[in-house]
Structure 1
Amino acid sequence: MAPCKYRGAINIGFQPSITIGVLFANGLNYIFSKFIKGGWGWRFNLSCAMFSALVVTIGSIFLS
């Protein structure tokens, strides 16, 4: 869907996006595991993943 002259730049930007996403997810996992006691950390971590998946799903609906 990208124009020809921007396709390479968008493709190259994919790897840093994935890397930043993994770093952000690990940071949230660390924060939730250290500061939320009583076994609730994984629930908050899973809800953050669900929220980001919902954003991607809604965004993909508007792409087509």
Structure 2
Amino acid sequence: KLLSVGALTLDTILRVETLPVHQGKFIASDGLQIASGMATSAACAAHRLGAEVSLWASAGDDAVADQL
């Protein structure tokens, strides 16, 4: 059994046609949001390897926390 304690965050990953060379506004063609953070990533990796995992993390009290 594994208890992973630590950060729980929401990462937003956006796809753009080309990597920006200069500052400016760019339109993303696609995107996704995934739960992340060091403790979360470790828990997911251990679970994929077959471990029984629990995660103890604070997510806040807002719309993002509701997604997580």
Asked whether the two chains share a fold, i.e. TM above 0.5, the reply is no
More helix by share: 1
TM-score category (smaller protein): under 0.3
More strand by share: 2
TM-score, structure 1 as length reference: 0.27
